[in-house]
Structure 1
Amino acid sequence: MFKQLEYSVIIVIMEHPPPPYTSTKMAAFGHTFPFYPGPKPTFPMDTTSAIIITIFLTALVTFIIILPGIRGKMRLFWLLRMVTSLFIGALILAVIFSSKWSVGQVSTNTSYKAFSSEWISAEVGLQIGLGGVNITLTGTPGQLNETINYNEEFTWRLGENYAEEYAKALEKGLPDPVLYLAEKFTPNSPCGLHSQYRLAGHYTSAILWVAFLCWLLANVMLSMPVLVYGGHMLLATGIFQLSGLLFFSMATSLTPPCPLHLGTATLHTHRGPAFWITLATGLLCVLLGLAVVVAHWMQPHRLKAFFNQSGGDSSVLEWIPEEGGLLSPRYRSTAESPEPLDIPLSGASSETCCKEEYPGEPDCAL
């Protein structure tokens, strides 16, 4: 009787297969989670970071190609300025899109599938960025005859819904550790991690974009005869970066830390590489800005020589070929200008000039 009923159920299931992602129905017949369709993602390279690196490396190679056209000591100064500027700009953009502002990793024994008593030994990683979280799960090879290698991203950027992405992860049937950590960052979670990290990410990202604009203005002004304002913009670049760090630290410490228990271990987070890179870049911009401003008041001629700009305030322009350098304009002051020379005119020229100026004097040429 029971065997016939079981066979009938199997025939019905075969004739009418369930739709995709109906794991809850299949679990009643001995199957277990997860039913994850398609190939599993395997730690791909961050495409945004790759694009940023490619753009700035292309600019650097372009500057190196035209470097032989600059002669003398100016070549070294110019190369130093270009490398430093590109380095700062690339770091500012990279940390904006980085997912390593707060990171944590732990090795643990944890459950792998829902409605299953099987446990796995794996490393679980959590990376929190300004635009979302990234969760990784890497199991020891040879477990359950399956390659356990997951890398899932959940974002809360403007125009994207974190709750919907979490619901899709549930439909996919992701492993328990991934779903557990993702659930901690949902809007309805009692931990409150979603509100504080989302707020910190939005405002810190906006502040860093302002810092990037200040960096662009600093490059424009340092290529013009307004070096002191370029130093001010470098100072602003560093100050905005440090302000972004301060806001991120304050916003993420508004609520007490939420314990993240994964099997037999607890996952703890700490400041990631993006945080410390931003701190170092901000301090570097502040120091460079102060150096430019101080040099403008104490050694303006050396500062202009470093930026390959002419010095002096006057209206006399003289083109001279500097030794080992390109032809560049040099302005001379009035004090440096040579005295006017009295050039004697010939007799005919002086008589003609005298008649033009004094037509009534017959002997003005004498």
Structure 2
Amino acid sequence: MPVAQRDLHDLPSAFKGQECNWEKWAREGSCRSTKGPGGMGSMESLGTLVGQYPGLTRFLFLQRWFWLVRVLLSLFIGAEIVAVCFSTEWSVGRVSTNTSYKAFSAARVRAHVGLQVGLAGVNVTLTGNPVQQLNETIDYNEQFIWRIGENYAGAYTEALQKGLPDPVLYLAEKFTPSSPCGVYRQYRLAGHYASATLWVAFCFWLLSNVLLSMPAPHYGGLALLITGAFVLFSVFAFASISSVSLCQLRLGSSELTTHYGAAFWITLATGILCLLLGVAVLSLHYARTSALRTFLDGSVKGLESQAKGSSSLILNNPLHKQFWGSDLTISTNL
């Protein structure tokens, strides 16, 4: 198929009288006009360039969307990894029941009782239905920590001394080291290893951002794969508690059962997302190296190699020599 070529020697006239160059136009999308003799305003020159080089404008549009998606995905992954480390929504349970309220009292209250198990401990909530009962405001949210350096048994003893309601003490007692349930050690170890692997994943997430910004897509993709692997390791570490049978939790006439919470499923989805992104980056690295580097680099410098590999548009800008020292030509398949 014949190819018609023409040199764009008249391109400097589009920028005459303006403080502009290719790099500034690609970054800002316009130039500041000085309106010198024979010069052209910024809107006029931008319209000229858009009309003459649709391939360039399409490339810049895709590049900016790629950058936006990349930043949003990266922020989501990093924020999620940090957030779930402090979340108590890994294993949750909730029940509405009519239960005793205080020790050595026959008074009963209607309340919602919640149990949230996290990586660092247990959170127990008790909310009256209605909140005002027995001339008291029944609204408790108590946390018992088993993180390394914390004394879970001591926190439970303090709760006894404070005289917290029976449902709170009952659920907290099930996770004490001396409880007949025997789940303290398993839950504590599962939370400890899950938290450790999540922080390792966070470090590799930071490393992947640095490598992809250099850009070094091969090693950045590998760092993303390792990030996803460690995130999934944390999920598997916490899921190991499923082999431990939790004691029956009866509150009044109702039974409280637990299941995996939002933090568990979001972490699982994030691990899979990191693996998919890592595979995508590595695949593009081996299949379309120049295109991937051009998008990651965030400049128009790599457009020549991109155009040669996938487009019939090749730009030749005489002003381009001033900035990158390479000539570009435009060819159109007729």
The one of 272, 297, 303 equivalent to 2:261 is 272
Query: Does residue 1:290 correspond to 2:273, yes or no?
Result: no
Unaligned 5+ runs, structure 1: 1-67, 314-319, 337-366
Residue correspondence of structure 1 range 80-229 to structure 2 within 5 A: 80-141=69-130, 142-229=132-219
Structure with more contact order per residue of length (Cα contacts < 8 Å, sep ≥ 6): 2
Task: Give structure 1 regions of 4+ aligned residues with deviation exceeding 4 angstroms.
Answer: 68-71, 309-313, 327-332
Query: Residues of 2 paired with 1:170 and 1:186: CA distance?
Result: 13
Query: Residues of 2 paired with 1:288 and 1:328: CA distance?
Result: 33
Give the TM-score taking structure 2 as reference length. 0.72
Aligned residues: 256
Query: Residues of 2 paired with 1:151 and 1:307: CA distance?
Result: 47
Deviation at 1:300, TM superposition (A): 1.0
SS in 2 for 1:305: helix
Give the residue type in structure 2 aligned to 1:239: A
Contact 1:321 1:328 (C-alpha < 8 Å) held by counterparts: no
RMSD: 2.4
Deviations 1:105-136 (A, max 9, x none): 00001000110011111000000000001000
Give the residue type in structure 2 aligned to 1:196: Q
Unaligned 5+ runs, structure 2: 1-25, 30-59, 306-314, 330-334
Give the residue type in structure 2 aligned to 1:163: A
- Give the number of the structure whose alpha-carbon radius of gyration is greater: 1
| C-alpha distance 328-211 of structure 1, shift in aligned 2 (>3 A) | farther
Deviation at 1:225, TM superposition (A): 3.1
Counterpart of 1:230 in structure 2 is 220
Query: Residues of 2 paired with 1:110 and 1:157: CA distance?
Result: 30
Deviations 1:35-72 (A, max 9, x none): xxxxxxxxxxxxxxxxxxxxxxxxxxxxxxxxx95543
Fraction of identical pairs, as percent: 58
SS in 1 for 2:140: strand
Deviation at 1:196, TM superposition (A): 0.9
SS in 2 for 1:147: strand
Contact 2:215 2:296 (C-alpha < 8 Å) held by counterparts: no
Query: Residues of 2 paired with 1:199 and 1:124: CA distance?
Result: 26
Give the TM-score taking structure 1 as reference length. 0.66
Query: Residues of 2 paired with 1:278 and 1:132: CA distance?
Result: 18
Counterpart of 2:252 in structure 1 is 263
Counterpart of 1:339 in structure 2 is none
Counterpart of 2:233 in structure 1 is 243
| C-alpha distance 153-306 of structure 1, shift in aligned 2 (>3 A) | same
